[in-house]
Amino acid sequence: MLKLGYKIAPEQFPPSELLQQVITAEKAGFESIDASDHFHPWSESGQACFVWSWLGAASVSTQSIELGTGLTCPILRYNPAVIAQAAATVSSLAGGRTYLAVGTGEALNEYPVTLEWPQYDERQIRMIEAIGLIRELWTG
């Protein structure tokens, strides 16, 4: 089944403007939003709000739209346990209208924080391990 979603860009707009965008998107009939989890804005005049705080605000400001990240990298600047906790908190606030999309990251967002950028094969292995840890934490 086709779902219509809206891409929220925290690296381009202030958090308050993004909140208005998601409220408007829900009223317009969009079924989901996909929020970038970026540490670094795409331009010098851009933004870079902490997406997990923003998702909490979006979850209590909307009624039916599905909320999630696209994508979160749970292996470098984040510990997988922190992502498990953040996603579970947002899910609780949103009444389960959430999803978590993960990836191996982008150097632009991960390297400035960690000064680490492993080869893709290593990042992929770490991501698979992180997914297992997150699932374990969610099951108690």
Q: What is the DSSP letter of 4?
A: -
* In the block, residue with structure tokens 């089944």: 1
Active site (annotated) includes residue 38: yes
> 18 with 10: CB under 8 angstroms?
yes
Query: Out of 11, 26, 38, 110, which one is annotated catalytic?
Result: 38
Query: Out of 11, 26, 66, 106, which one is annotated catalytic?
Result: 106
Active site (annotated) includes residue 106: yes
Angle between helices 15-27 and 51-61 (to 10 degrees): 40
Q: Which two tokens stand for residue 34?
A: 């996909």
> 101 with 69: CB under 8 angstroms?
yes
Catalytic annotation, residues: 38, 106
